[in-house]
Amino acid sequence: MRIENLRKIKEDTIEKAVATVIYEDIDRAPADVYFYTSEAYSQFLNLNPDACLVAGYLTAIFVGEKRIWIDGQVDDQLKKGLVHNMKTFRQWYGRKYQILEIESNDKVFPIKKQNRLNSGLFFSGGVDSIYSLQNNRLKYQPDHPLYINDCLMIDGFDMNQSSESTNDQQIFKRALKGAQQITDEAKVNLIPVYTNLRHHFYGDDYFWGNWQHGSALAAIGHCFTSRLNSIFIASSHAPAMLEPWGSHPLIDRYHSSHDLTLIHDDLCSTFKKLELISTWETAFQNIRSCYLNNQTKLNCCTCEKCARIMVTLMALGILDKSQAFPIHQISPSLLKESILKHPKESHFDVNFLQLVPYLKKHGYLDIANLILKENRIKSKIQRFDKCYTQGKLKKIIR
């Protein structure tokens, strides 16, 4: 893979940072990958070879490229970190994935830094990122170097993945509006970022979740090293649920360079996160966790992810107080679908089984009993079969 011709192009009042990606060992057309932000923050968007390298290296491994070459000088600390990560991904997903040679030239892209560099947070408006912002406020004083001053919200990851239709643009604008209420109250700058990175770097759902989304976030961070010297990535999982995943405590920090430190935030369960968020009314009423990008609702209340959040709010006894989740009940079929979507026992225990005493306390006996039913041996075997043998055990028994 070659990443070359790093340049800035101006379209109307917007300046984009662009790089051309050329595949050397597979038959795939070259593509221009871009990053841009609003006019108010465009002066802080860098042409940074580090960002392009982090954005592309996992795709290069996954599709079978033999090397990755970048048209620009790359930070030595970052190079070492990426080699570490390549070894980790190889341990996780198999020896067929090769550790690539990282090659570059000495072309320098000067970065003019502002006098006081900020700490940032990738902010989606979901439970994880809201918790990280609120937790940061509880841990640090405004003069601390890790006190978050900037939140980056990205169009092109879970929103507007591959197109630029009017509907997609409206969904991002709506999400931005809800997030703005939260960041304004926290006195944080909300910086919108637009990219086609996911679409052009092999962004199917499996690869995005299991491999790429952490490095994609890191790439965005490296685009703003004129403004940031550290940035937080909200944790996805509780400690008991840690597993190979694209954003991970063993991975994210190795996307750091001398100019930018990546911080994987504190591991915590969804229950504990929502318990804290519920004390911040503005944030609680503007949670945007749903990835289906419903045209009319912030959260659709019918997908498996919404089901996980809703049942946790029920366990806390506050689902009926939520405007973000306007449907204040959950069907047994939807709950079972959510359980089966994440069949590993660690996920079941943390996301569902541990909620049973709280659900009973608040009178949701039918939901609590359904979860207990799913804790029986037969259901455990079904989930094991789905997770580890792709249904083969069921076929053998039949």
Q: Which fold has domain 118-194+206-264?
A: Rossmann fold (3.40.50)
φ, ψ at 343 (rounded to 5°) = -75, -10
Is the pLDDT at 13 greater than 80? The verdict is yes
Q: What is the Cα gyration radius of the chain?
A: 22
What does the alpha-carbon distance between residue 317 and residue 315 come to, in Å, rounded to a whole number?
A: 5
Predicted confidence band of residue 28 (pLDDT cuts 50, 70, 90): very high
Asked if residues 36 and 16 have their Cβ atoms less than 8 Å apart, the reply is: yes
Residue with tokens 């359904």: 370
The HSE-up count of residue 391 (CA atoms within 13 Å, CB side) is 1
Smallest CA-to-CA distance from 247 within 272, 216, 278, 226 is with: 216
Looking at residue 389, its pLDDT comes to 75
Is the pLDDT at 163 greater than 60? The verdict is no
Sequential DSSP letters for 40-96: GGGGG----HHHHHHHHHHHHHHHT-SEEEESS---HHHHHHHHHHHHHHHHHH-TT
Token duo for residue 168: 């997609």
C-alpha distance across the termini of the chain, in Å: 47
Domain boundaries, the chain: 2-104, 118-194+206-264, 300-397
Work out the average pLDDT over 127-147: 98
Dump pLDDT digits (tens) for 336-346: 989 988 778 89
Is the pLDDT at 170 greater than 60? The verdict is yes
**What percentage of the chain reaches a pLDDT higher than 90?**
81
Looking at residue 166, its pLDDT comes to 52
Strands, E assignment, the chain: 2-11, 14-22, 31-37, 67-70, 101-104, 118-122, 148-155, 189-195, 228-233, 261-264
Count other C-beta atoms under 10 Å from residue 396's C-beta. 9
